[in-house]
Structure 1
Amino acid sequence: MGARTDGTDASAALRNRLPGLSISTSRTPAGRGAAQEPVSPTARLVKDVYIVVSFGFGAPLDLPVFRDGIQNQLARYRRFRSIQVMSKEGTLQWVVGTEVNVDSHIIFPTLDPAAVAADPDKAVEDYVASLSTLPMDHTRPAWEFHLLDIPTSEATFTAAARVHHSFGDGVSLITLFIAATRSAADPTRLPAMLPPPKRKGAIYALQRRPSPTAGFLAFLVWVCSYLVLAWHTVVDVWSFVATIVFIRDPPTLFMHASNSETRRTRFVHRSLSLDDIKFLKNVMNCTVNDVLVGVTSAALSQYYFRNSGDTRTSKLCVRSILIVNLRPTDSLQAGAFIFNRMFKHVSIGFSNVSGPTEQVVFCGHPVKFIAPSVYGPPQALFVHYQSYGSAMKVILAVDEAVFPDYIQLLDDFSESLRLIKGAASSLSTTSIKND
């Protein structure tokens, strides 16, 4: 690992640059010599949505090494060398093959020294939150790295990457990030990943038709299982259609006020024990995602009842939208209406992405944590989970006007996991399978 290189000309130029977004960059003109292709319907749907990923690093910043890593590992990818332009026909087009000046995509902001000295964690948090209010320069490829060379309680320095959502979803961008990393234990190989989740138990087993000798009762149970499945399918389809057309969640303290304007989004995160989550998965014979949904439900319940004073649950409806990665794009123009209506009619966004199971090195620096999030959707609260090593990060993107006590909300996630684990620990240990 290289030493600090503050004295080099390149480092000084980058460090002295303010986080302005009007920096010019050389690029291939949108005419001759530049390949063009239509912007997909999916990319057009997220025109106002941006992904923000905070990376904590465990070694001092070596700026030339980090810059070279961005140049060689990310800037060479096709989409990271593309910009969106409006064609003569009035349609959005990708201009592919843009010449990228990496120095224009690496921003080294100057923070208030007094704020940094008083609370470095809060200073970094405040700056990352400010990204949600700053426009992005779309005359160059819409991605950038903001380097905050400030030691915090979790990292030696922090890099906040901001990428327009049209470049990819959370899964594809994290996959790209992982492809650009190497195992800290063995730099010659890619990092190890979690195996695909498997649902176990009788409820997930294939219901085979009983043999003729099994009797009429067994045959009746088999038929009824499919009738129940058909009924739940009809109910789910009806709920989906009704949500698109007219059903929306009633007003709760999780939602924007009807007359609220776009406000700053704050990104906060907390590390949970992945071992505790796996313990609950094994006790309950479910998946990690099932456990995370349960922890989220418990945390939001604690927050709601503490802040509202309401004790009634029968009429409380708080629904979440979980974005599923569907690669085929056929007929998505019909899907734009569905997408927008669903987003506007539910209260919370939810996402869960798996990361490496071991420590990795990115651009020559060991990674301490990964915290992806998003701003731009209409929800006042978006919950992300990101696994890395032995930890599971819960990341909240909150409208700070709706959640002024966002730290308390973050505490509720830690407390909910503790309470659920305590209840599960009282179960018989014979029902626990380690894997």
Structure 2
Amino acid sequence: MELKEEEESEPVSPTAQYLSSSTLSLCILAILEFEQVLDDSLLMQLVKDVFLSISPRFSSVMVRDENGAKQRKRVEVKLINHVKFPFCPSGLSPESYDKYLGDYISEIGMQQLPQSQPLWEIHLIRSPTSHAACTLIFKLHHSLGDGFSLMGALLSCLQRADDPSLPLTLPSVFLPSKAKDESNGSIFTRVLKIFSTVSDTVLDFCWNFVKSTTAEDDQTPIRSGDDRVEFRPVRVATMTFSLDHVKQIKTKVVATINDVVTGIIFLGTRLYMQELRHDSSNAKSTALILLNTRVFRSYESVKDMLKHDANAPWGNYFAFLHMSIPELTDDWSSNPLDFVVKARQIMNFKKNSLAVYLTGRVLEILKNFRVPESLSVTIISYMEKLRVSVVAEDGFIDSQKLKSCVEHAFEVMLNATVETKFLNSH
């Protein structure tokens, strides 16, 4: 490793330090599927000319200064250590290649990235699966940035098909202003609002702190409780839902897309738990949700994200939210949409709390606490589709059975929007 001493070092944030500490090392696996096989030399050229220039973090390592504080330092990147072209067997069926790809993802997911070089890898799988002609896997350490940052990096690598000279345009999000409503309220209403926010913040922060330190969930079919579970093999399962159907549920319940997706995942998880062990449907289980804390209207270019006064800056700007998974009652099938309602109620409480903005301070306190998990779920929407990926502890969680349960939860909720009259006064 050759340090570039002439480059200015960059301090490492508390969140990035926690995500790369001895107790937790969190990576993001981004999987891109292509209709045509990528050329090896073209990929290397794109990584060299485009990827590395996106952010200085892709060519930096973490080092400690004379005071023991972690800093980012630029180094010379040797692409041969980062871009992998694994050998793939030939003559297999697309379904066999699907299994091969799943096994390969599980294998690289277990491996730790070397701390002596920038924390990223790219793997090109040149075997046709049932979904694509070839697959590109990005393994990026979470200390490089969060999903918003890395999605911006991906978009910076793309060009418009109609006119490559024009910048990409993305739809913006409407953010309603509360200033007018607040100005029209009475002094009593404003004081009540402040008191409610302070009260919710104290309760939320204390509960999050207790859940992060002393209070443990029950051992269930989704939580083994075994030591160092985060270093065990994983199995990936994916499913795709129509975004229009998700919006149909959203309209029926008068909720947000996030509320609906959370409710579907919660119900599917409880159904899986009940199927494997009936008494676990009411067990104490908590989901740890990552929430983007930026105030933004749309994705920005990486160039804008790296500015000191950026509206949506590069980095890890997210908070951890603890959400108790609602219990599964015997009459849940009479109104499965209750899971969305409960998710909406919890989300509204969290929105009224400022505890999410105290994450940095909490992480400094909790550096030596581990957060083991047997199951994680990632969600992304594009092209009017909602793609859900489940990463489960191999040998403990049946990822395909869990996938079936989540899909069943979605189906019964969608059917409930048509077959029942749902009251929004819940």
* TM score, norm. by length of structure 2: 0.72
Aligned equivalents of 1:311 and 1:268: distance in 2? 23
Once the two structures are overlaid, the 10-residue window that deviates more, 255-264 or 268-277, is: 255-264
Report the equivalent of 1:124: 101
- Give the fraction of aligned pairs with identical amino acids, expressed as a percent: 22
Q: Which amino acid aligns with 2:15?
A: T
Q: CA deviation at 1:71?
A: 2.1
Aligned equivalents of 1:172 and 1:411: distance in 2? 32
Residue 256 of structure 2 is aligned to residue 287 of structure 1: yes
Q: CA deviation at 1:413?
A: 1.9
Alignment of 1:28-67 (within 5 A): 29-30=2-3, 32-47=5-20, 48-67=25-44
Change (3 A) 1:63 1:244: closer
Q: Which amino acid aligns with 1:381?
A: L
Change (3 A) 1:292 1:342: farther
Whether the 8 Å CA contact 2:232–2:393 is kept in 1: the answer is yes
Q: Which amino acid aligns with 1:157?
A: C
Report the equivalent of 1:321: 288
Aligned equivalents of 2:176 and 2:359: distance in 1? 30
Q: Which amino acid aligns with 1:382?
A: S
Q: CA deviation at 1:110?
A: 0.8
Change (3 A) 1:336 1:239: closer
Residue 327 of structure 2 is aligned to residue 336 of structure 1: no
Q: CA deviation digits over 1:315-374, x for unaligned, max 9?
A: x32211122345699997743255558863xxxxxxxxxxxxxxxxxxxxxxxxxxxxxx
Report the equivalent of 1:247: 215
Q: CA deviation digits over 1:171-198, x for unaligned, max 9?
A: 2111211222223455344545454376
Alignment of 1:123-142 (within 5 A): 123-142=100-119
Change (3 A) 1:124 1:245: closer
Q: CA deviation at 1:132?
A: 1.9
**Aligned partner of 1:155 among 119, 122, 132:** 132
Aligned equivalents of 1:117 and 1:189: distance in 2? 37
Report the equivalent of 2:379: 385
What is the aligned residue count? 355
Report the equivalent of 1:263: 232
Aligned equivalents of 2:292 and 2:271: distance in 1? 31
Aligned equivalents of 1:226 and 1:342: distance in 2? 33
Whether the 8 Å CA contact 1:243–1:342 is kept in 2: the answer is no
Whether the 8 Å CA contact 2:33–2:134 is kept in 1: the answer is yes
Once the two structures are overlaid, the 10-residue window that deviates more, 168-177 or 101-110, is: 101-110
Whether the 8 Å CA contact 1:183–1:189 is kept in 2: the answer is yes
**Could you say what the CA RMSD is over the residues aligned between the two structures, in angstroms?**
3.6
Change (3 A) 1:45 1:328: closer
Residue 419 of structure 2 is aligned to residue 426 of structure 1: yes
Change (3 A) 1:269 1:93: same
Change (3 A) 1:293 1:87: same
Matched residue SS, 1:324: strand
Q: CA deviation digits over 1:257-299, x for unaligned, max 9?
A: 3346531122322222112112222222221111101111111
Structure (1/2) with the larger helix percentage: 2
Change (3 A) 1:86 1:228: closer
Report the equivalent of 1:411: 404
Q: CA deviation digits over 1:60-100, x for unaligned, max 9?
A: 2223333322222211121111122344544433112x333
**Aligned partner of 1:302 among 271, 277, 280:** 271
Q: Which amino acid aligns with 1:274?
A: L
Matched residue SS, 1:159: strand
Aligned equivalents of 1:31 and 1:167: distance in 2? 19
**Aligned partner of 1:80 among 37, 58, 66:** 58
Whether the 8 Å CA contact 1:321–1:343 is kept in 2: the answer is no
Matched residue SS, 1:70: helix
Runs of 4+ in 1 over 6 A off after TM superposition: 114-118, 197-200, 221-230, 327-333
Aligned equivalents of 2:167 and 2:377: distance in 1? 28
Aligned equivalents of 1:311 and 1:381: distance in 2? 16
Q: CA deviation at 1:32?
A: 3.7
Structure whose alpha-carbon radius of gyration is higher: 1
Q: CA deviation at 1:231?
A: 5.8
Change (3 A) 1:128 1:237: closer
> Any unmatched runs of 5+ in structure 2?
294-314, 318-356
Alignment of 1:210-225 (within 5 A): none
> Any unmatched runs of 5+ in structure 1?
1-26, 212-218, 345-377
Matched residue SS, 1:73: helix
Aligned equivalents of 1:183 and 1:339: distance in 2? 44
Residue 213 of structure 2 is aligned to residue 236 of structure 1: no
Whether the 8 Å CA contact 1:245–1:341 is kept in 2: the answer is no
Change (3 A) 1:228 1:163: closer
* TM score, norm. by length of structure 1: 0.71
Matched residue SS, 2:76: coil
Matched residue SS, 2:88: coil
